[in-house]
Amino acid sequence: MGGFAMALPRVYKNQLTGKKMKAQEFLAELQRRFPNEPEYLQAVEEVIESIEDVYNEYPAFENVNLIERLCIPDRIYSFRVSWIDDKGKVRTNMGYRVQHNNAIGPYKGGIRFHSSVNLSILKFLAFEQTFKNSLTTLAMGGAKGGSDFSPRGKSDMEVMRFCQAFMQELSRHIGADTDVPAGDIGVGGREVGYMFGWYKKMQREFTGTFTGKGLDFGGSLMRPEATGYGNVYFLLNMLATKGIDIKDKKVAISGSGNVALYTAEKLLKLGAKVMSMSDSEGTVLFPEGMTQEQFERLFEHKIYFRGRCSEYAANENLPYYSGKRPWTLMKYDIAMPSATQNEINGEEAKALVDGGCFAVSEGANMPSTREAVAEFLKAKILYAPGKAANAGGVSVSGLEMAQNAQKMKWTAEEVDEKLQEIMKDIHEQCVKYGKTEDGFVNYVKGANTAGFLKVAKAMHAQGVF
Ligand code: NDP
Ligand code: 2IT
């Protein structure tokens, strides 16, 4: 029995016939079919190029054209969401859920509310999520959803009415063992609470169909902290391979939302120097490194008052750069982009490297453009792609699902310990598949290969559909 399962990988490898997958041909065809989806094509390109060789080691994959079924989402729901604002005006937004792949577990991934949301962005995020979730060692497939609704400047009641209208449609397609959403940009505890509440009303049952829930109704301790803390844990694993201590290292952080703030909090605890934070309007610098008191005031300003970095910088008398990203404003040892996709371009990456930056650990999803990634790999710095470095968030979501299923609640210490183990495990997988002959670890190749193999073997075992 066990023997049969164990033998499968060797069977793949021993097949001598079968044509090879050619990454460039496959990508050209995808480009022809989805010409208006640049972010989706960018995410697929990065993965396909790094797994081409390992994919072709298993001819059985190409025999069933597995690559095409792995890149095209299982299904996409899109719907109109109409809601009434505080002035009585009827407003309409788009709503989506991309269920990408459930070969290794129920669909799982966040919901993004931002004016820029479109299908290309959600398809890239759902694709990335599939590989990220595979790396976590937990049983979760990949999905992403969202809307071009922006919570910025809306009242709580407007946000609530929107969330209810959105969930009215989405509730038909999700479930604790089907598809489990969570937060992402523009979706935090408030939005998850409103969506979960409406879901529960519609379904007339209390199940763990959302993660990132409030602590009083099934949420896990440490979920808010998990992505930022997890990214720092991943960074520590990378630094350990070079014997580098994080203390006093100058770190650039972009963003000032959930991921960025908890990244800063953990870095401060470890004695690192946080040099920057930002939002979509500009960057605030901390020339002496952020203090604990400055962090607490920023946290309050952002989380409780939903304020802007410009106001914070003025209050604190700190330098503020309107319309600028952090990367070229100073020299940094480490960069932790934690805002959004494509927020570091090739020139900025080169400026970081030239300025002495020796580690980049991505809190955001795909924050580096293809040109930026090429700069980091060329310079052979420690560079962790988001699907490895920011996997702590969805990992603790997986732990929240486990606690909900058991009807148990674990302590913060237990969850944090598990999170640290998972990040260490992900790091080991990256090293296993990403180490090159000269000892350099290509974390992009490592993460893509490890994430891919698990999903591909599961898909192959389950047949063609
Ligand atoms: P938040 O909404 O809490 O914060 C987002 C931050 O990024 C804000 O400071 C926001 O500024 C800024 N930002 C958003 N869009 C843009 C943009 N187009 N240009 C410049 N700045 C922008 O989101 P999160 O912290 O949850 O998410 C940040 C990143 O981390 C995203 O890439 C997300 O996909 C990723 N991520 C999140 C996880 C989670 O658990 N939350 C897990 C793994 C990854 P402003 O307020 O001005 O909009
Ligand atoms: O990008 C991500 O991993 C998230 N937004 C978190 C997803 C989740 O289901 O916790």
Cβ 59 under 6 angstroms from ligand 2: no
Closest CA to 383 of 355, 354, 362: 362
The radius of gyration of the chain's CA atoms, rounded to the nearest angstrom, is 22
User: What mean pLDDT is predicted for residues 314-332?
Assistant: 98
Question: Is 432 annotated in the active site?
Answer: no
Of the pLDDT bands very low, low, confident and very high (cuts 50, 70, 90), residue 35 is very high
Nearest CA to ligand 2 atom 9: 109
Q: 9 pLDDT exceeds 80?
A: no
Tell me which residue has tokens 């959105």: 166
Q: What is the pLDDT of residue 15?
A: 54
Parallel, antiparallel or unpaired: strands 334-336 and 250-253? parallel
- Ligand with an atom nearest the CA of residue 212: 2
Rounded CA separation 131/312 (Å): 37
343 alpha carbon – ligand 1 mean position (Å): 11
Q: What is the pLDDT of residue 89?
A: 98
User: What mean pLDDT is predicted for residues 260-266?
Assistant: 98
Q: 66 pLDDT exceeds 80?
A: yes
Rounded CA separation 259/171 (Å): 27
Asked if 302 and 325 touch (Cβ cutoff 8 Å), the reply is: no
Rounded CA separation 182/184 (Å): 7
Cβ 255 under 6 angstroms from ligand 2: no
Q: 1 pLDDT exceeds 90?
A: no
Task: Pull the structure tokens for residue 210.
Answer: 């959302």
> What element of type H or E holds 377?
helix 370-379
Q: What is the pLDDT of residue 3?
A: 42
Nearest CA to ligand 1 atom 17: 280
Of the pLDDT bands very low, low, confident and very high (cuts 50, 70, 90), residue 12 is low
The minimum-distance atom of ligand 2 relative to the CA of 128 is 1
CA torsion sign, 433 to 436 to 439 to 440? Answer: negative
> What element of type H or E holds 98?
strand 90-101
Task: Pull the structure tokens for residue 80.
Answer: 């109109």
Q: What is the pLDDT of residues 139-157, one digit of tens each?
A: 999 999 999 999 999 999 9
123 alpha carbon – ligand 2 mean position (Å): 14
- Full-model pTM: 0.97
Nearest CA to ligand 2 atom 10: 394
Lowest pLDDT segment from 15-29, 195-209, 273-287: 15-29
Q: What is the pLDDT of residue 8?
A: 45
Q: In the predicted model, what is the mean pLDDT of the chain?
A: 96
User: What mean pLDDT is predicted for residues 170-188?
Assistant: 98
Q: What is the pLDDT of residues 71-109, one digit of tens each?
A: 999 999 999 999 999 999 999 999 999 999 999 999 999
Mutate-to-test residue for ligand 1 from 129, 185, 213, 306, highest number of ligand atoms within 8 A of CB? 185
Q: What is the pLDDT of residue 235?
A: 99
Q: What is the pLDDT of residue 17?
A: 55
Nearest CA to ligand 1 atom 15: 340
Residues 6+ apart with CB under 8 A from 213: 192, 193, 196, 219, 400
Catalytic residue among 144, 387, 418, 457: 144
Q: What is the pLDDT of residues 214-258, one digit of tens each?
A: 999 999 999 999 999 999 999 999 999 999 999 999 999 999 999
Tell me which residue has tokens 């997986």: 398
401 alpha carbon – ligand 2 mean position (Å): 13
User: What mean pLDDT is predicted for residues 376-398?
Assistant: 98
How many other C-beta atoms can be found within 10 angstroms of the C-beta atom of residue 15? Answer: 12
Q: What is the pLDDT of residues 103-117, one digit of tens each?
A: 999 999 999 999 999
C-alpha angle with apex 236: 232 to 239, nearest 5 degrees? 135
Rounded CA separation 223/29 (Å): 40
Rounded CA separation 378/357 (Å): 13
Residues 6+ apart with CB under 8 A from 42: 124, 342, 366, 369, 370
The minimum-distance atom of ligand 2 relative to the CA of 132 is 3
Tell me which residue has tokens 């371009």: 345
CA 121 from chain center: how many Å?
A: 12
> What element of type H or E holds 426?
helix 412-434
User: What mean pLDDT is predicted for residues 372-386?
Assistant: 98
